Amino acid sequence: MSEKIYVGVDVGGTTVKLGICNSDGTLLQTYEGPTEVSKGPDAILHNIAQYVKLIVEESSYEWSQVAGVGIGIAGFLDIPNGIIKNSPNLNLNNIDLKGFLEKELNTIIKVNNDANVAALGEAWAGAGRGIANCVMYTLGTGVGGGIIIDGKIVEGFQSVAGELGHMAIVPDLEAIQCGCGKMGCLETVSSATGIIRMAKEAVARGDRTSLIEVDHIMAKDVLDAAKAGDEVATRIVNRAAYYLGRSMSMMSVILNPEYYIIGGGVAKAGDFLFDQINEVFEKYTQEASKEGVKIVPAVLGNNAGVVGAAGLILRG
């Protein structure tokens, strides 16, 4: 058995998820263990290395088949050198993750940020399989992004490309401040957090909406209310979709990707959200830039991270 395998690691604040993929990006085996952030940097690094050894050991594959280990992690990175400059979630600063794991595992190590890695997972083996140029939006607490050109992640000069949630897409007059400090970022309106904020504002204003009966409004409540015909909720979801569509129009004249892939919790709203986004994209995008372009839902769900991390070895 000489088939090469690719190990992907998705390092989260609570759990480290791992997967073994073949060269097609098919997930052959998974594993997960606690990150143990409270025990500090050494413990986290040790855990990652241990889990990689364990997933391979527990599989039917030999260590000699491992072509490399890819890691996806949230935070500011120096991607080419695999250094974590600052990961607030994990309380890691200036950690040479690539260097540590190369020594510990004696194989090729690639490190990239979680949003880029999810985009690569979808582009390699998910909704964008076979598509060279994709842009992914992950609509969660924030709006994450990842750009794939000619099959590879666009990293940027300082490893901060693909921060699509921080496109200043909301006009100044309507803009509110983002967590990043700047005004009018996409994630102020199109993230779960943005949707919840707009819903709470509507309730506080006394707008006639069924959301007034919800104790702790979640994005799903707003999406469900909109689907059920609540006008206020519909307006909120349409606003989230509008700025996503506008940002894709902008992206299409810049990069002219073939697919936009939308993942994350908010994307579960399905056609209701996608139809709106499509309508806005159609309206605002130049003919030449939108010809043949598709806006599609992500398909890998929580596996996008481990699959994409594994993909870093072939596509990093």
Nearer to a second copy (CB atom), residue 105 or residue 164:
164
Site for a second copy in 74-133 (CB under 8 A): 76, 132-133
The window from 49-57, 111-119, 195-203, 248-256 that contacts a second copy (CB under 8 A) reads: 248-256
Minimum distance from residue 158 beta carbon to a second copy (Å):
5
Q: Letter for the amino acid at 56?
A: V
Asked if 261 and 147 touch (Cβ cutoff 8 Å), the reply is: no
Between β-strands 83-87 and 15-21, what pairing exists: parallel, antiparallel or unpaired?
Answer: unpaired
Of 293, 296, 298, 306, the one binding a second copy by CB under 8 A: 293
Minimum distance from residue 143 beta carbon to a second copy (Å):
11
How far separated are the first and last CA of the chain, in Å rounded? 25
Between β-strands 66-73 and 27-34, what pairing exists: parallel, antiparallel or unpaired?
Answer: unpaired
Minimum distance from residue 22 beta carbon to a second copy (Å):
27
Backbone φ/ψ region at 106: left (φ over 0), alpha (ψ -120 to 50), beta:
left
Of 108, 176, 214, 255, the one binding a second copy by CB under 8 A: 255
Q: Is the dihedral of CA 102, 108, 111, 117 positive or negative?
A: negative
Q: Token match 């991607």: residue?
A: 79
Residue 162 binds a second copy (CB under 8 A): yes
The window from 12-20, 56-64, 229-237, 281-289 that contacts a second copy (CB under 8 A) reads: 281-289
> Rg (Cα) of the chain, in Å, rounded?
20
Nearer to a second copy (CB atom), residue 17 or residue 166:
166
Residue 232 binds a second copy (CB under 8 A): no
Site for a second copy in 37-56 (CB under 8 A): none
Of 171, 201, 270, 282, the one binding a second copy by CB under 8 A: 171
DSSP structural state of residue 12: -
Residue 289 binds a second copy (CB under 8 A): yes
Between β-strands 92-96 and 109-113, what pairing exists: parallel, antiparallel or unpaired?
Answer: unpaired
Of 249, 267, 274, 303, the one binding a second copy by CB under 8 A: 249
Asked if 60 and 37 touch (Cβ cutoff 8 Å), the reply is: no
Residue 173 binds a second copy (CB under 8 A): yes
The secondary structure of 221-248 as a DSSP string is: HHHHHHHTT-HHHHHHHHHHHHHHHHHH
Question: Which residues contact a second copy (rule: CB under 8 A)?
Answer: 76, 132-133, 147, 149, 154-164, 166-169, 171-173, 180-182, 246, 249-251, 253-258, 284-286, 288-289, 291-293
